[in-house]
Structure 1
Amino acid sequence: MDVGDLLGGNAWSYVGGTLLVLWALVWLYRDGLQVDAVADKYVLVTGCDSGFGNLLCKNLDVRGFHVLAACLTEKGADDLRMAAGPRLKTVLLDVSSRDSVQKALEWTTKEVGEAGLWGVVNNAGRSLPMGPSEWMKVEDFHSTLDVNMNGVIAVTMSFLPLIKKARGRIVNVASVLGRVAANGGGYCISKFAVEAFSDCLRRDIHYFGINVSIIEPGFFKTAVTSLEPLEKELQRLWEQLSPEVQASYGDKYLDKYIKVQRLIMNAICDTDISKVTGCMEHALTAAHPRARYSPGWDAKLLWIPLSYMPSCVVDMGLKLVLPRPSKSV
């Protein structure tokens, strides 16, 4: 190789590096562009009694949006109204009930008028029951799927005409467990479904100026990750098992499983839920929202990289973490 070849190689490296830097600067500039006239925009958020939805509504209210906060309980709605300004309004909504969704749609249609609905944030969800798949009954799966999967689809499809009128946004809350199935029950299944539904929807309706974003949070301290109800639910699942199934796992398995859950939640859960609501706000206010957001250090450094690994690697990792049944082969 002569000197000319070396210089040529260095030149191409310099050009490539320069283009990469320019691309990053353009991306950052484009990512920072914001929509205007937010005071004229209406946003519906589900699951606002606590957690992500509750904080998001307060933040959007401060920014000047017309916030339509859908709460499951009267107390949740009352508390949120007292903590926010007069532009925030609440409605009771059980996303697993078609009648409830229809009533919320009729109320929202009157509220937004000809402006249409700028955004829908499908935040309502439930995590329980979680645990080994064999411990579940069919009803245990359905109780989660009805909220996390069917509820997201029902709200989205019902409110889509209002969103289409405003050329607005749909923001669906999935999870890192919609990328890596780490436990049994309906939660991971439902979040995988939210990912697929959102991808299909985004590709189908972008022609109408509608953006669809997916939020894939890591583990955060909310009601969903609270240890007390999780442990009670595991105890309930264990007690409904037949003596034969219990014997196959062993007397100590439940205690070991609960200890692992405590270790995971205490080690991984982030207390700063604004990392999640910040992504939701960006999806609603950015001129060019992203297709996916993955808030949380564990999402970026653990779960998302793990989702690209071969299945055998994920299987081995979980096998090392979770307890082993006493009668396993």
Structure 2
Amino acid sequence: FWLFLGSLSILASILCLVIYWLIRDSQRVRNLNGKHVFITSCDTGLGNSLAKWLDKRGFCVIAACATEKGRIELQSCSSLSLKTVNLNLADSNSIARAVVFVTEETAGKGLFGLVSNTEETPPIAPTDWLRIEDFHSVLDVSLLGLIEITLKLLPLLKKAEGRVVNLINTKGLTAFVGGGYTLSKWGMEAFSDTLRIEMQHFGVKVSIVEHGFFKAGVVNSDVIEKYLLRLWNRLTPEIRDSYGEKYFVEYIKAQRSSVKRLCDSDISKVIKCMEHALIAKYPRTRYGAGWDAKFFWLFLSYAPSCLSDMLLRMIHLFHGRFVHGHVQQLLNFTSF
């Protein structure tokens, strides 16, 4: 009898905690109209979609674009309250100009939200194929650039008791490709966790949106192929011979096909997570957007290394069979 009562009390406690969490999670910030949100990498993909979404919700969106074309196209399909600014995250002078622009636009109100996101083409390849400048080309943008602009905007965020939302691909949870891409994602995870703890004193909330593969944010597979072919052809004969042509063909096949098969077409899953992180009174520390983020990459990050290594090798070998002919033709007839 007492065992039954003890079990019942535990279940009741768990139920109360779940109800409390649901009520707390559903509370929203009031008077969102006129609040300023700054978003990086809005030329295309997830940043572009979020800028349009928040613009319709009444936010004063400041969208940073890397290209003039992206800036003009975004402005043409948005309201007059959406402002754009050119931003090169690898250039400190460009970052400084963007910060001045945001400061002037907020006009003493402070910055309610900073959404950090990068969607550049990453040099993903075996580490032995890369040079130090290949790491710099990614880390200077996807890690150091985002950290620099966050640091320079912190006074505005503290003034508004705002929130920082860092959009991170779940490949940052598991290291299985060479290059600076995974390093940058791990770095942003660590930076976000540290910043969240430190900013609690100022009422600034920091959230991480860990998203899987979505069609809007995936680099074209042909671009990846051409990059890998260029890297392969610049290798010294000694390194190229140590891998062999068969290794190259299998590697490029896996990169080309595995991402496509994991892609989700419903980009709203990511948008809703970012929106909740901005408008919720008590935003979550982490959000998982996409089925692969919640069930595949998260599982791999906690699984024993021997199991995760085996699963990743199986995925590469399985997907590699589908595009052998195309890659072999590129290798035989194309030079870069």
Pair in the same fold by TM > 0.5: yes
Q: Is the 8 A contact 2:165 2:209 kept in 1?
A: yes
1:45 and 1:122 in contact (8 A); partners too:
yes
Structure 2 equivalent of residue 217 of structure 1: 211
Which residue, 34, 40, 46 being the options, matches 2:40? 46
1:33 and 1:194 map into 2 onto residues whose CA distance is: 28
2:309 aligns to what?
315
Match of 1:77 in 2: 71
Report if the CA contact (8 A) 2:207-2:277 is conserved.
Answer: yes
Residue 14 (structure 1) aligns with: 8
Amino acid at match of 2:209: I
Q: Deviations over 1:241-293 (max 9, x none)?
A: 11111112111222222221233122111111111111111111000001111
Shift of 1:51: 0.5
Deviation at 1:36?
0.9
Q: What is the DSSP-based 3-state SS (H/G/I as helix, E as strand, rest coil) of the residue aligned with 1:221?
A: coil
- Greater Cα shift, 253-262 or 82-91: 253-262
Paired residue type of 1:82: S
Secondary structure of residue in 1 paired with 2:62: strand
Q: Is residue 263 of structure 2 the alignment partner of residue 232 of structure 1?
A: no
Is 1:183 the counterpart of 2:177? The answer is yes
Asked if structure 2 preserves the Cα contact closer than 8 Å seen for 1:72 and 1:92, the reply is yes
Q: In the alignment, is the contact (CA less than 8 A) between 1:46 and 1:122 conserved in 2?
A: yes
Distance change >3 Å, CA 16–CA 223, structure 1 → 2: closer
Over aligned residues, Cα RMSD in angstroms?
Answer: 1.3
Of the three residues 90, 94, 98, the one matched with 1:96 is: 90
Match runs of 1:59-70 below 5 Å: 59-70=53-64
Counterpart in the other structure of 1:196: 190
Change (3 A) 1:321 1:244: farther
Query: In 2, distance between residues paired with 1:231 and 1:128?
Result: 12
- Give, in whole Å, the separation in 1 of the partners of 2:313 and 2:255: 14
> Which amino acid is 2:104 matched to?
K
Q: Find the residue that maps to 1:39 and give its secondary structure.
A: coil
Are residues 1:152 and 2:146 paired?
A: yes
Between the aligned partners of 2:202 and 2:76, the Cα distance in structure 1 is 37
**Aligned counterpart, 1:35:** 29
Q: Equivalent residue for 2:133?
A: 139
Alignment of 1:248-267 (within 5 A): 248-267=242-261
The count of residues paired between Structure 1 and Structure 2 equals: 317
Counterpart Cα distance in 2 of 1:253 and 1:273: 34
- How far apart, in 2, do the equivalents of 1:47 and 1:247 lie? 39
Return the letter of the residue paired with 2:245: D
Return 65-74 or 215-224, whichever deviates more.
215-224
Give the unaligned 5+ runs of structure 2.
318-336
CA separation in 1, counterparts of 2:217 and 2:6? 53
Q: Which ranges in structure 1 are unaligned for 5 or more consecutive residues?
A: 1-6, 324-329
Aligned match of 1:124: 118
Note if 1:109 corresponds to 2:100. Answer: no
Residue 127 of structure 1 and its aligned partner are, at CA, apart by 4.2
Contact 2:38 2:114 in 1 (8 A): yes
Aligned letter for 1:25? Answer: I
Q: Per-residue displacement from partner, 1:9-63 (whole Å, max 9, x unpaired)?
A: 1221121112212211111111111101111310000000011000101110111
SS at match of 2:30: coil
Q: Is the 1:95–1:124 Cα contact (8 Å) retained in structure 2?
A: no
Q: Distance in 2 between matches of 1:251 and 1:228?
A: 19
Q: 1:170 aligns with which of 141, 164, 171?
A: 164
Take 1:305 and 1:125, find their aligned partners in 2: how far apart are those partners? 24
Q: Is the 8 A contact 1:177 1:192 kept in 2?
A: no
**Structure 2 counterpart SS, 1:142:** helix
Distance, in Å, in 2 between the alignment partners of 1:81 and 1:57 is 10
- Residue equivalent to 1:272: 266
Residue identity in the other structure for 2:286: R
- Given that residues 45 and 119 in structure 2 are in contact (C-alpha distance below 8 angstroms), is that contact kept between their aligned partners in structure 1? no
Distance in 1 between the 2:127 and 2:313 partners? 15
Distance 2:10 2:217 in 1: 47
- Written as runs of structure 1 = structure 2, the 5 A alignment for 1:267-306 is 267-306=261-300
Residues 63, 82 of structure 2: 8 Å contact kept? yes
